[in-house]
Amino acid sequence: MSIESSYERWLLSPRVDQTSKDELRKMSVEEKNDAFFKDVEFGTAGMRGLLGPGTNRMNVFTVRKATIGFAKYVIEKYPDARLRGVAISHDNRHMSRAFTLDIARTLNLFGIKAYIFDSLRPTPELSFAVRHLNAVGGIIITASHNPKEYNGYKVYDENGCQLVPYRIDRLVEIIASLKNELEVEVEHYRPYGKTITLGKEIDDEYIRLVEAIQINPQLDKKGFKIVFTPQHGTSYMPAMRIFKDTGYEVYPVLSQCDPDPDFSGTLSPNPEDKRAYIEPIKLAEKIGGNLIVMNDPDADRVGVAYLSSKGTYELFTGNESGALLIDYVLGQRKAKGLLSKNGILYNTIVTSSLGTAIAQSYGVKVQSLLTGFKFIGDQIALNEKIGGPHFEFGYEESYGCLIAPFCRDKDGLQAILLYCEMALFHFRHGKTLDQVMEELQQKFGYHYDCQFSIEFKGPEGAQLMSQLMVALREKPLDEILGRKVVRREDYLQSLAYENGKTEAIHLPKSDVMKIFLDDETTIAVRPSGTEPKCKFYYGAVGTDRTATKEKPAALHAALCQIYHLK
């Protein structure tokens, strides 16, 4: 169906409210094209998009169609799906509660029990709740760290893990078989399912398990000041409860604590964005804070800033903070005899090699999986079934990690607790975090990892992004900035090329290219699964701090010139 016919279908439909129709009439040609050139679709992190009318937008019709598909999927997969039910949660965003209630009603019409919280909750708690309730799946409405105009829809399996390709493929088939989002019908199964509002027992058990991951709970916390912000999201109440229970001296950024869908107290809710740290740093300077920690709005990620040895507040990337935490967790577990002899750490194919080097130095295996924490959660479940290896840690460069696998998604509350413990541990040993990082870099080599993104908006943008990936495959680099390419990994073709030979890559197919240079530097190119952009990951390794730090930007400029990118 063409863009224009889809647009007219919405304008003429009696199911579309007048406010939405007025919004449609005000759309520019560009806005109309973007709203209707495709259906909003599942990617590496579920379904995510701008709020508003249209097939490529998050609205009650597109959300309901996805829910109808998920209802059919769980009924087909689980004979007892109606009895076991589905857990649902949401974040602070516009329409999140309304979507949640509509999802529950839709599931009920299929005879499926729906568990909902009384208000917003962190994404990792939803993952935990699925497992705790023995539900057949979960749904959370969240757009994570995206701007206020966005919302999203993530689906979870019975293990509390986001659906991986071999599971989600069938769901996508079912959704594709349904009528369009305005005409799809809900089945009316009798008896209807019930909606059950979850009580505080879920919160209590989840928080108990989070607090149980402490390694050195006895550390003296007096005089160690922490600034915390939930970025208007879901973590304020549970995080403050955890801080109180564990005895930390915490100063919340009060202007960012209300669950405001407009994020009015922050310039960005994204821990990857330096603007997110402006207000927390102001408060830290005022009270003499030692550490700044923040969750993104759905509380599955953590940003870290710290008081450096120079007396200034500095930021860590997700790769850097992850490496520090890996060293602390594995080092302390080893010192206490808690480290498994058959331990494994999971990261992703675009995560820094520094964490790998640190883990291997403790005798821990490392397995790199595709981008998306669902692959880590799924691998945890698979290894549990075969009796090992034992999960020690999982993380990805985008500020997310998991310490204890009682949930199967990255957990910003687990992470925030152990980042505080790690920083306090080093503080008590007279070290700032930049000093600890320098020690790691001197031991394992300087690692500097940097990500760049290029937006490709609208139907033309999607085509240009596709052409770039074709060019990377059909016109592969032999060298760049004087460094030879020694290996190429094509995750769409599931093949690696090195020394004139090919070998299979045993991971699900994904449109990613990774290039290895002869100085251990890596370049990975990956179209985003949830946003109209292509991401470029550069991982430089070297013995000189300055030269290594300058390398990613130079490589990106060179790559853009070679492939005519703006």
Write out the catalytic residue numbers: 144
CB of 65 closer than 8 Å to CB of 184:
yes
* Rounded distance between C-alpha atoms, residue 35 and residue 183, angstroms: 18
SS3 category, 344 = strand
For 439-469, the DSSP string reads HHHHHH-EEEEEEEEEE--HHHHHHHHHHHH
CA distance 131 to 13: 40
**Please, are residues 71 and 107 in contact by the beta-carbon 8 Å criterion?**
yes
For residues 133 and 235, what is the distance between their CA atoms, to the nearest angstrom? 21
The number of beta carbons lying within 10 Å of the beta carbon of residue 274 is 14
53 Cβ contact partners less than 8 Å away, ≥ 6 residues apart? 10, 16, 20, 21, 23, 24, 35, 59
Closest CA to 142 of 106, 95, 104: 95
Alpha carbons 488 and 516: distance in angstroms, whole number: 6
Identity (one letter) of the amino acid at 124?
P
Q: How far apart are CA 51 and CA 35, in angstroms?
A: 10
Instruction: For residue 270, give the amino acid letter.
Output: N
In the structure encoding, which two tokens stand for residue 487, read together? 């290996």
Tell me which residue of 268, 270, 272, 309 sits closest to 290, measured CA to CA: 309
